[in-house]
Amino acid sequence: MVEAIRFRDDEPHEEPAGSMDSFLDQSNATAVRIEAGEDVRQLLPYLERLALIEVDFPAFGDGRGYSAAQILREQGYTGELRASGDVLVDQLAYMRRCGFDSFAPEKPIDPEVMERSLGRYENIYQGTTDQRSPIWKLRHG
């Protein structure tokens, strides 16, 4: 595990993220890690309390985590949302668009390639929780 890449200004959260089960068993935990396939909506009652949600990608082709992130942000979660596991540089831009703001990739990511990749597309076609204006909005004001 390499150090997390963060796109947040606040200090990294100290509490380690435990499993969904152990989180639901506790009344004061502020960090949780969810596995692909776990229903992120179970966390909705606790979003106020949560400061770190880590979403695991067991394989880069397993895209469930993108929907998990979108649902959390749609429901107003503002804490750190971290993608971990098989997170590759070419997936980062879409992850950012779905609301992830930190990354804990299994294998290191070349910062130069990352920068190029994240800055590449000036515009986007569809709305997501990142609040960027889709092209249709630019067309119609």
Binding site for another protein (CB under 8 A): 36, 60-64, 66-68, 70, 74, 88, 90-91, 93-95, 97-98, 110, 113, 116-117, 120-128, 134-136, 138-140
User: 91 with 114: CB under 8 angstroms?
Assistant: no
User: 77 with 98: CB under 8 angstroms?
Assistant: no
3-state secondary structure (DSSP) of residue 104? strand
Q: Which CB, 52 or 95, lies closer to another protein?
A: 95
Q: Which CB, 10 or 119, lies closer to another protein?
A: 119
| One-letter-per-residue 3-state SS of 32-65 | EEECCCCCHHHHHHHCCCCCEEEEEECCCCCCHH
Q: Which CB, 10 or 120, lies closer to another protein?
A: 120
- Tokens for 19, please give them: 């499993």
Q: Which CB, 30 or 70, lies closer to another protein?
A: 70
3-state secondary structure (DSSP) of residue 89? helix
CB of 69 to another protein, least distance (A): 8
